[in-house]
Amino acid sequence: MKVEAIDYGDRKVYSVGAFNRGVSSWLSRLPTVWVEGEVTELRRQARWASVFFTLKDPQDGSCLGVSMPRGQFDGLRLELADGDRVHVYGRPELFEARGEFRLRALSLERFGLGEHLAALERLKRKLADEGLFAAERKRSLPLLPKRIGLVTGNDAAAKRDVLTAITTRFPPANVLVAETYVQGPRAAGAVAEALRALCREGVDVVVVARGGGSFEDLLPFSEERLVRAIADCPVPVVSAVGHEQDTPLCDLAADMRASTPSVAGRLVVPDLAQLLERLDRSHSGLERGARRSLERERQRLERTHERLGRAPRLLLERGRARLEQSAGRLRALSPKATLERGYAIVRSGDEIVRSGRAVEAGERVDVELAEGGFGARVEETR
Amino acid sequence: MTFEEAQRELEQIVQRLESGEAPLDEALKLWERGEELHRFCKERLDAAEGKIEELAGRANAAKP
């Protein structure tokens, strides 16, 4: 629409009506969108063509006037009351006669707990189908984290609980805390950004902790961008959001879920006292083991050495015994023993006489006895 | 030579001696070698014990 201005020299001036028409035509080019808020100041009168109410942002109190054709509004039979949460589908509009900006509603839906739950359920199914919650995606936590990241609210009891649990179990723990919004429309983006910031600082595990709260308080922890940020986090994430019965979607995407912030703290660090005790036990076992094996080798060597000392003597004794035996046999074989029994050896010259035919009568022979001997002459032969 | 090698040779020598198959000359030589091996093994064990005492002492000193 062409808006006519009046020229006063070099100044262009618009009438109020022209200005409003101009702005109105600009606004009409904006797209139709969904806006969420709480219904307040609902005004409806039989003689008005439209129904009016103010849409209020429950987080920061921002207000937006809304108008909707009365017939259409009544047809919805929403029975809206002040404070009801609604989704309004409409486009911005300027009420030209009064220069008032408002949202022209084309459609209106109550958005209560049920709708919230349904939307959550749809998101949950979609992310599950993508495999974001799959068990095989879960990483195990580091046994001894070098640096622990903690994302939490700035004055939260959750923060204190996590820190207390960590330092009680493992006093030298290095914890990097990122304080951020944990509630409201900015929370999801802020927590996701805090996660990324902590990872840049080189943490090797992150705890996201938030104490209990209303269903709506915990909603940011089910927002898609935060759930994805947790799933994409390069280090394992422990989620401790809300109470046991709340299961925000970030719990499903996290590598481990803790029922409370204290439990999360205990999960990410080992018990130092226990660790030291175990180390001590292994250490004394080490010394005992070394001594035992030394003692074993010593005894073995000693036994072998004893056997070594005995062996040659044994050998000698055996040799000596064998020698004795041979001497015995030698002695048994010598003629001396025979002579003792009364036998005599008769020699003719150097020859031993074994037969009567070997000598002749009158021949001289030597007779050897056990003791001494004598010469003799043969009388006769037989 | 390692402790285990010396130990093994020593035990083989003792077995040979105990079998009584070695002639006396060889037996004496084996005995001599056996004593040598025994000395070597004992030195190794003494050194190991010294090392254990040293480490244990150092570990005790490090304890708070």
Q: Are residues A35 and A102 in the same domain?
A: yes
State which residues form the domain around A40. Answer: 6-111
Query: Which of B7, B18, B49 faces A311 most closely, judged by CB atoms?
Result: B18
Q: From CA A31, how far away is CA A136, in angstroms rounded?
A: 43
Q: Please report whether residue A157 resides in a domain.
A: yes
DSSP code for A146: S
Kind plus residue range of the DSSP H or E element containing A335: helix A335-340
Reported as a single tens digit per residue, the pLDDT across A335-344 is 777 788 888 8
H or E, element range at A11: strand A11-13
Say if the Cβ atoms of A283 and B59 lie within 8 Å: yes
Tell me whether residues B38 and A301 touch, CB distance under 8 A: yes
Task: Give the residue from chain B lying closest to A298, CA to CA.
Answer: B45
A32 sits in the region (left: phi over 0; alpha: psi -120 to 50; else beta) called beta
Give me chain A's average pLDDT, please: 88
CA distance, residue B58 to nearest chain A CA (Å):
12
What is this structure's pTM?
0.54
Q: Is residue A185 part of a domain?
A: yes
Q: What is the CATH number of domain B3-62?
A: 1.10.287
Q: Is A35 contained in some domain?
A: yes
A290–B52 CB contact, under 8 Å: yes
Cα–Cα distance for residue pair A135/A127, rounded to 1 Å: 13
Q: Tell me if A308 and B7 make a contact (CB, 8 A cut-off).
A: no
* CA distance, residue B16 to nearest chain A CA (Å): 9
In angstroms, what CA-CA distances link B28 with A217, A301, A312, B22, B31?
95, 20, 7, 9, 5
Give the domain ranges of chain B.
3-62
Determine, yes or no, domain membership for A94. Answer: yes
- State the pLDDT confidence band at A331, using cuts at 50, 70 and 90: low
Domain CATH number, residue A263: 3.40.50.2300
Would the pLDDT of A269 be above 60?
A: yes
Lookup result for tokens 């909603």: A219
Which ipTM was obtained for this model? Answer: 0.76
The count of domains in chain A is 4
Q: Which whole-number Å values give the CA distances from A65 to A17, A27, B7, in the listed order?
A: 21, 15, 99
User: B1: exposed, middle or buried (C-beta count within 10 Å: 0-12, 13-18, 19+)?
Assistant: exposed
**Minimum distance, in Å, between the CA of residue A293 and any CA atom of chain B:** 10
Per-residue pLDDT band for A333 (boundaries 50, 70, 90) equals low
pLDDT given at position A374: 94
Residue A211 has pLDDT above 90, yes or no: no
Residue A371 counted as domain residue: yes
B9 touching A (Cβ < 8 Å): no
Q: How confident is the model at residue A199 (pLDDT cuts 50, 70, 90)?
A: very high
Cβ pair A260, A237 in contact under 8 A: no
How far is the C-alpha of A144 from the C-alpha of A271, rounded, in Å? 10
Residues A279 and A261 in one domain: no
Whether residue A241 lies inside any domain: the answer is yes
Place of tokens 């902590």: A198
Percent of chain A with pLDDT over 70: 97
> How far apart, in whole angstroms, are the C-alpha atoms of residue A7 and residue A13?
6
Distance between CA A310 and CA B14 in Å, rounded?
A: 9
Give the pLDDT confidence of B14-25 residue by residue, as tens digits: 888 888 788 878
pLDDT of residue A218: 87
Residue A1 has pLDDT above 60, yes or no: no
Residue of B nearest to A309 (CA): B31
Give the pLDDT score at A311: 78
Q: How sure is the predictor about A2, in pLDDT bands with cuts at 50, 70 and 90?
A: low
Asked if the structure places residue A195 within a domain, the reply is yes
Task: Report whether A86 contacts A68 (CB < 8 A).
Answer: no
- HSE (side-chain half, CA atoms, 13 Å) at A13: 7
Give residues with Cβ within 8 angstroms of A160, minimum separation 6: none
- A289 and A256 part of one domain: no
- Say how many CA atoms lie within 13 Å of A20 toward its Cβ: 12
B-chain residue closest to A303, CA distance = B11
CA angle (A214, A215, A216) in 5-degree steps: 90
Q: Is residue A201 in a domain? A: yes
Give the count of alpha carbons within 13 A of B42, CB side only: 10
Q: In the predicted model, is pLDDT for residue A372 greater than 60? A: yes
**Tokens read off for A111:** 């958005």
